[in-house]
Amino acid sequence: MCKQELLTLIEQKRSELIQVAMKSGLSSSAAIRYSQELDALLNEYNRSFIKKVQTH
């Protein structure tokens, strides 16, 4: 996955999380699921793009 595609997915997931949290609360099961999905995307971004920059 290219950097721009991943950034787009991160922004979409962040927006979804905000909407769910506003509707159901931050501790709802849906908000927790979206938060975990966002964490996974952010971790993938860090593994793929951030650490490569720091090692060069």
* Of 5, 40, 33, nearest in space to 17 by CA: 33
Please give the chain's pLDDT, 56 residues, in tens.
Answer: 899 999 999 999 999 999 999 999 999 999 999 999 999 999 999 999 887 656 55
Element (H, E) at 26: none
Question: What one-letter code names the amino acid at 6?
Answer: L
In a domain, 56, yes or no: no
**Count: domains in the chain:** 1
Angle between helix axes 3-24 and 29-45 (nearest 10 degrees) is 160
In a domain, 6, yes or no: no
State pTM to two decimals. 0.84
Whole-number Å distance between alpha carbons of 47 and 39: 12
Q: Where are the alpha helices (DSSP H) in 1-56?
A: 3-24, 29-45, 51-55
Could you list the residue range(s) of the whole structural domain that residue 32 is in?
18-46
